[in-house]
Every structure is written in C-alpha cells, then in structure tokens.
Structure 1
C-alpha cells in the first residue's frame, strides 16, 4: 500500500475514536427517587436529584454538602408534569439510577396505578426493579428524609430496602416487576409498603427517617384500603421470603409475663380443599431462637405461646383483609395454580369467595435454639 494513503487512513481513523454524542457524567443530573400526588385534577410530581460526586469513593458523604434536592412540577398527565419539571433543571437528566417511587393515597385511587406504571416502565432508561411505596404523609417530606449517621442516600431504607429486610422481615418490599405480576394475575390485588416519617435525634438536631407504617392494598381499578402495621404482622408468616422476625407472646396464666423469640426460618404451604366451597389448609413451620429467660418457664410453655401468637397474627391480618374485601394472602392464586378447573368455577374477577372459616391455620415448631448451650437464665437468682 502506498505510504501516503496509509498515513492518511491512520489520521482519519483517529478522528473517529471520539464519543461525540455521549454526555459527560458531570454534565448530567441523576434521579434517585420520585414522589407522586394528585390534586385538583393534576398530577403533582416531585423529583429527588442526588449528588454522586463522592459516592463511588466513600459511603460516608461530605457532611457540609446536601446529598439531595427535591424539585416539583404539576401537569394533567405524569409525563406533562415531568416535562414541566425539566424547565427548572440545569442539565440533562439521567433516569438509569431511578430507585424508588412514593405514591400518595390520592394518586392510587381510581385506577391511576396503570398510568403510573406505564409512565415509568415504558421509558428506555428505567428498570422494573424500581421500589414502590405508598404514604399518607406529604410525598415531598418523605423524599427529604436522610439515612442514619449521614450514610449515603443511595443506601437508604427506601432505595435499598433488601438490606434491612434481611434483619427484620416485617413488610416485604415491592418493586414494579412484582407489582405488575400481582395486578395481572389472580387475585389481581397486591399490598405495597406504606411509609411515614419517624424522628431520630442527634446531639445537634432532630432528623427525619423513613419508617414502615403498614400496607396499602391496590387493585387495577382502585385503592382498596390501608392495613396498619399492628394488623399487618401476619404477612411475614405467610411467605417463605421471610428472613428474620420476632414474636412476642404471653406465657402461662401470668398476663404480665411476655417472651420475645426471634424467628429465622419460615416454611409455608397452602393446600386448597374443594367441597361445597373452597377452604385452605395453611401449614406454617418455624425455627426460632430464645435469648431471654424469666422465672421458671418451660420450653414447652414458650413453644405453645409462640404457636398461639403466630396463629393469632395470621388470623388477625386475614380478618382485616376480609373487612376491606381483600384476599390479603392471595389464597385465590393458590387455587388458580393448583386446580385451575375449580378456580374457573368459583372465581369472580379473579377471586374466590372467602369468609372467616375459609382458612385453617396450623403452626409447627421445627427447631428451638438458645444461642448458648443452656436453656436457663444467665444469672441465678
């Protein structure tokens, strides 16, 4: 090849190596969380923009620099509101780090969940792993909460719920993927975690942290109601995803004597039984740890108290669901999966008819551990 042509080709090649159509990371804004409300016929959109300047180098951010800013805009549709929000943004927005969305009760009503899902999932930069929460509080206040001890905001309970769920599996976090499956398949209802604000204090100030409030029940057409935390406890015993939880129960005849045990393994099986109507036999197997010992209470007494306590929590949550016309444990889906022929006969809008007698609960204890070798108080009285 002619040397002149070769040199020309090499020179032209160097001009093609640049990524001219790619934006520099420092010239972009990053959405981490969103909040949606609905007022006076318009969607109210709140966007949480985070600063990733020092996140990659250190999980502890610089204390004198705000970790996030929250902007607001409104519109007749969600997309219109988002585009109105762009009016006040200095740089192009990147949605690839979008981690969670907070929904007010008002925006969940009247089937608006479908518009919310479409607005976020159909955009090319967003993912199905976005966590979904509801709230009774102003959504912008929730977006302004910060993690404990000034941890990076991307490690917050809202943006990274699986971390804290490992230690206490109270209410299972839900993402868009799980939400879509739950609404599309029988019983066409699903619970999403509701959050509120809880005060924590430092030597200088009071800080706002996100706290679990209960569960909101959503269907494709409506918001079916809210179940508070004290009535939602049965949910953790009806899923094999539970990692760790606690049961506090009264032991023996002494009403003031309570024990708390830590459950670290749950195995649930649900078997539909068809007679005149469908009934569901629920079998829950547990392992638990004892870390406190009082008076001379026997292991058998504690075991009986734990079984009674778990059954009560499962029953209370189930009955709370019935009051809201909700199949809270998705029992209809068990029949759909195991006997679709009978499900077709009995179902109405994806659900089978349920009442207080439709569920039979049996709780078994597989293994009891004391976290030490002895099953007695550490200090003798």
Structure 2
C-alpha cells in the first residue's frame, strides 16, 4: 500500500502535469502549441571523462503523464535522453542546445545524479553552475552513482509507467516503508556539504537486474533502480563510497527513520526479525577541545515480525539492543577505516562553538565514540504472544 506521502507526491505530479496542460486553454498570448514549445527536462546526470563534463538530460512528455491517471498503459511512455559534453558544465549545456530543437524548461528537474568520476574531480564548480541557473529549484533529489547514467535514465517504472514513478523521483515512499539510507534534497545537501566538519551522504543509486522479471510468453528481466550505498562528501570534497551493509548503523542515528527491521541473531544464527518504527537518537558531547568525546543515546520500540523459536520478551529485547549497538559501532569503525566522519561528530563540535581552525586540529578516533546506549522496548510479540 502506498504511504500518505506517496499519495501526496503523486497528486503533486498530476497537478503539475495538469497545470501545464491548462496553459493551452488560456486565450491571448497562449495557444494550443504552447505545451509543445518547450522541452521539459526532468532529471540531469553529470559525468566526467577525459577532462570533459558529460551532461545527460532526461526528458518526459508531461501531457502523457497527465493522461495516465485512471488508464492502463499498453506501451512505454515516451522518454528521451540527451547527451552533450564540454570543458565546463555551461559549455555542455550550450552544446545540447544546438540539437534541442526547442527551448529547454529547467524548472521541473526532480533528480540530479553525479557520477563517482565527477565527485572525485570536485563538484564545487558543477554545483555552483547549477545554483546560478535561475530556473533551477532547490528541491531535486540528489544521488551519486557508479553506473552508466545513460542506462539509469533509460529505466522506467512498472506497467509502462514513466520514470516519475521510480525511486529516482519518489525515494521517500520506499524510505517510509524500509528506512535505511535517508533521501537527500539539494537544499539539504547545500546546507551541510561545505560546512566545517560537515559530511553529506549522497545516496548511491544503482541498477538491479535480477529481482524482477516480466512474466508471460516473452519473459524477460525487468531492470529496476536500487539504493546500494552512499557517497561521503566532507567539507566539499569527496571522501569515499560506503556500501549498504557498511551503513547499517546510520539508520539508528539520523533523523526521519520511519520503519526498519532488526535481525534477531543468537549464536550466529538468524532466528527472527523485529520491526521498529520511528527510533530516536541523541548525540551528546562529553568533554571539550581535544578531549571531546561523544555519547550516542538511542530509544526505540518495536514488534515481533517473525520468530523460529519461542523466546522470552526479555531475551528478544536483549538481542535487539545488542544488534543495534553493534550496527552503530560497526558503521562508525568502517567510517574510521576510510577517514569518514559518518555521524557528523565534528560538525556537531562546530555547531557547539568550536572554531573552524580548532576543528582542523581535532582528530576523530575510535575512542571519540565514548558510549552507545540503547533503550529498546518490545511492544508486542504479535501472533507469537
């Protein structure tokens, strides 16, 4: 079932599409050709190769999107992908204009994807070029990728629906059901990626080729989009990539985790799962200056999803508590191995008054994480009660 947020976002997409269509009904300077007089870019992807920026633009037909409500689609929605290159991003944009046939409207961008090559080369010039474009809004979802952007932009939703109905445009729907790596909008990215001590985590979007297939006489694999990790940007510079598994502790520390699952592990064996909703976390600074350390305090409640063998409630609570503590600690250690401040602890020092020059002298270590405290309550054993 779609979440309330998902329903609202679908309504927004439909309102946007219908709003554009209404322009054709206006009299005066608007006429029936108006909706066709612009190319509506809905996503951009930027790669870097051989000292040139490669710009990819995904373009959808909004009139087609508006017609889809309440109708079954017998064929794929029209989808176009543009590609150009240039020594700068603006030069790549100008190169694309040469073949665009009609002016671009950049005001409907819903997603921005950076390749790992762009991140390694440095994104500041690219980010500034995007922000200087007056048509761009600050609300697109942002991703990094190790995949071909061309291939990513060619993927559509199920049942011939356009890419607007995928996690590239609606990541919060899936995050609301299965919270792991928080979706990131551009305004949030801008607010932290250059801050002293700040680390922004770009969700890593990838292609899954095995989970789904189209059944029937002409059976074939259905490629879908998947979040498989995150790219860490610290003080404006790319640090490294961390896998989905390495980031397992992040969900317990960051805000907006709605629903997530903990495996019950006893003596190395998975014996069940517990579903947890809306955990909360506080990070408290202990000590000052070079002696600063941090305590992470987590509170959570949950219900039993499945269980292979009968266990007392107290035992289940201990297993969940232990697993959450291990998740948080392991992710922190993996970050330290790659010199990544995954929980933004140095940024917290900055927000607590440490000056940027002092912050540069402060070195995080495994000992900087002083305490991980988890208070977990099992609210219900469900049918196992």
Q: State the TM-score, normalizing by the size of structure 2.
A: 0.85
Counterpart selection for 1:327 from 341, 346, 362: 341
Counterpart selection for 2:151 from 141, 157, 167: 141
Q: Which residue of 1 aligns with 2:265?
A: 250
Show the 5 A alignment for 1:81-120. Answer: 81-111=92-122, 113-120=123-130
**1:259/1:302 contact within 8 Å kept:** no
Show the 5 A alignment for 1:1-381. Answer: 18-19=28-29, 24-59=34-69, 62-111=73-122, 113-199=123-209, 200-203=212-215, 204-251=219-266, 253=267, 255-274=268-287, 277-338=291-352, 340=353, 342=354, 346-348=358-360, 352-359=362-369, 360-370=371-381, 372=382, 374-376=383-385
Change (3 A) 1:83 1:61: farther
- The CA deviation at 1:333 is 2.3
- The CA deviation at 1:346 is 4.4
**1:169/1:236 contact within 8 Å kept:** yes
**1:110/1:222 contact within 8 Å kept:** no
The number of residues matched between the two structures is 351
Q: Which runs of 5+ in 1 are unaligned?
A: 1-16, 377-381
What RMSD in Å do the two structures reach over aligned CA positions?
Answer: 2.2
Aligned mates of 1:257, 1:28 — CA distance in 2: 55
**2:197/2:359 contact within 8 Å kept:** no
SS at match of 2:256: coil
**2:198/2:234 contact within 8 Å kept:** yes
Change (3 A) 1:82 1:46: same
SS at match of 2:114: strand
**2:46/2:114 contact within 8 Å kept:** yes
Change (3 A) 1:332 1:62: same
**2:213/2:222 contact within 8 Å kept:** yes
- The CA deviation at 1:67 is 3.3
Change (3 A) 1:375 1:171: same
- The CA deviation at 1:356 is 0.9
- The CA deviation at 1:221 is 4.7
Alpha-carbon displacement from aligned partner over 1:203-236 (angstroms, at most 9, x marks no partner)? 2322211111101111345321100111011111
Q: Which portions of structure 1, spanning 4 or more consecutive aligned residues, are displaced by more than 6 angstroms?
A: 20-23
Name the larger-Rg structure.
1
Q: State the TM-score, normalizing by the size of structure 1.
A: 0.86
- The CA deviation at 1:152 is 3.5
Aligned mates of 2:175, 2:93 — CA distance in 1: 31
- The CA deviation at 1:29 is 1.3
Aligned mates of 2:296, 2:287 — CA distance in 1: 14
- The CA deviation at 1:361 is 0.5
SS at match of 1:56: helix
